[in-house]
Chain A
Amino acid sequence: MSAFNPERWKPAPLLPKADARDGSLLFVIAVLVFLACLTCIGALAAHRAAEGWNSQLQGSATVVVRPKGIENADASAARAAEALAGVAGVAEARVLEKEKAQALLEPWLGEEALLDDLPVPRLVTLELSRRNPPTTAALEASLAAAGVDATLDDHRLWIADIERGASLARWTALGVFALIAAAAAAVIGFATRAGLAAHHDTIQVLHLYGAQRGFISRLFQLRFARTAGLAGLLGAGAAAIIGATARLTGGGMGLTPVLPVAWTDLAAIAPAPLLAAAVAALAARQACVGLLKEMG
């Protein structure tokens, strides 16, 4: 005697439970989302690094002060620093210690050179206001007014090169991220359509028994969106763990100063599971509607 009681029957889900094919789809999408999220973190860190390089160069200048007449280099440098400190937009003017200036020359002159006997120029480093930096003309006028023999290096030559390099790094990182994200979206779409093909018979039966196209496509949209969303969560979660590790082990600026990871970068990958789910749902809908159109 069957124990089945029709009065207690409830309709079973119209789609079969997840099987091995869903597992493969989950794995593929998780890996792709992981890669996309990792490149996203990398692109954001590269952008930050490029900003940092520019900012460091634009926020500083160096003045080379040579001895003039009977005045020694130390006195000239002190007067130059004093004059420059009074220019609007100069946050700090500091004479580089003699030992440090000599250390800068050692690679070219060697340790044996009698640096004390040479008229080694002194360096004055300037920290400039980021909001209202002084013009080169204002700094040069200040030096001329102080009557010192000095040359101003505002890093203009370097800034152009660094800016080009930073821009290249930024666009390369963005391009790699865009490529990986596009490839991930394409593969998610392809894998979803392949997964849908496995349900061809179910779709046909529902279709021939009068289910509306919208009803059938919603069933599959929901199914694949759920799978892709879960995979996205796993992939983005793994990428977030790596990003967080890089941030924690790398000190204040992240893993290295070259690729500084910030906590906000991890927030940027938060929408990844939703995006994966949306792409899968869209692919499932398109494939399902296409299939139903073919079926008549």
Chain B
Amino acid sequence: MSRNAEPYPAGDAPALRFADVAMRYGHGPDVLRDVSFELEPGSFHFITGASGAGKSSLLKLIYLAERPSAGRIEMFGQDVVRMAAAERPRLRRRIGVVYQELRLLEHLSAFDNAALPLRLAGHKPAEYRTDVAELLAWVGLKERMDARPSALSGGEKQRLAIARAVVARPHILLADEPTGNVDNEQAMRIVRLFSELNRLGTTVLVASHDEELVARAGQPVLHLHDGRLIPFGGSGGSL
């Protein structure tokens, strides 16, 4: 597996803590209201909810693409809302994200896309090229390393986006509907991949509306309904 961009923070602080968080886009209505929860380091959770319930908005707050309109968000004990702009890039490097729309850079090869987080973290190519190659082989893209994203199938793109999200061994891995464009078998492969990462210590949070997949994964669930977090029990199943 690849190297960590940052050492894991010391202390007993939760990996993620939301306290009475609300969020809205511009002057629109709240899309999240009174959201409070904690994720322990090394935990694995799903976020479920109907379309429009606020799953993607919640993830955007965590990967620092949006700011809450109220409440407090802490990551590794740091208040991310009041954090100076100059410190945010460093925190972002500890978060791996599989975006719903993937956001692969079309002008770069699969290898370059996968290596991007390590490159932006300032590592030299010689330090990570073998790791990236191994990771791409691990997600089944060994023969597609020099292909542009436009030449990859939907499943291959998804796996490439996952490879890019995990290559720097993030402390938190977020995935927004990562199984949306793949069949059931591929979906279970992806969840198993997340589980392997989780076993290596990464805190994983996956947004999905696929209730069957969530039930089979058997991990705890945060359920959103109309922007509010409501109690929901994990199924306790296994992969």
Chain A, residues 120-150, CB within 8 Å of chain B (1/0): the string is 0000000000000000000000000000000
The reply to whether B145 and A296 form a contact with Cβ atoms under 8 Å apart is: no
Contact stretch, chosen from B15-23, B59-67, B212-220: B59-67
The verdict on B85 contacting chain A, using a C-beta distance below 8 Å, is yes
Number of A residues near B (Cβ < 8 Å) is 30
Instruction: For A15, list chain B residues within 8 Å (CB).
Output: 107
- The number of A-B residue pairs with CB atoms under 8 Å apart is 80
The verdict on A290 contacting chain B, using a C-beta distance below 8 Å, is no
- With both chains docked as a complex, state the minimum distance between the C-beta of A281 and any C-beta of chain B, in angstroms: 22
Q: What is the interface of chain A mostly: helix, strand, loop, or mixed?
A: loop
Instruction: For A295, list chain B residues within 8 Å (CB).
Output: 65
Chain B, residues 85-123, CB within 8 Å of chain A (1/0): the string is 110111111000100000101111101100111011100
In-complex Cβ contact of A296 among B67, B108, B119 (8 A): B67
Q: How distant is the Cα of A12 from the Cα of B116 in the complex, in angstroms?
A: 10
* A residues 1-58 in Cβ contact with B at 8 Å: 1-4, 6-7, 9-12, 14-17
The reply to whether B89 and A10 form a contact with Cβ atoms under 8 Å apart is: no
In-complex Cβ contact of A11 among B63, B125, B146 (8 A): B125
In-complex Cβ contact of B144 among A2, A3, A10, A209 (8 A): A2
- With both chains docked as a complex, state the minimum distance between the C-beta of B127 and any C-beta of chain A, in angstroms: 12
The reply to whether A2 and B66 form a contact with Cβ atoms under 8 Å apart is: no
The reply to whether A2 and B145 form a contact with Cβ atoms under 8 Å apart is: yes
Given A11-B125, A206-B120, A296-B67, is A6 in contact with B89 using a C-beta cutoff of 8 Å?
no
Instruction: For B105, list chain A residues within 8 Å (CB).
Output: 201-202, 205
Q: Which B residues are closer than 8 A to A by beta carbons? A: 5, 63-67, 85-86, 88-93, 97, 103, 105-109, 111-112, 115-117, 119-121, 125, 129-130, 132-133, 142-146
For the A-B complex with A10-B125, A215-B120 known, give 7 more contacts whose Cβ atoms are closer than 8 Å. A11-B119, A12-B107, A17-B107, A209-B117, A210-B120, A212-B89, A296-B88
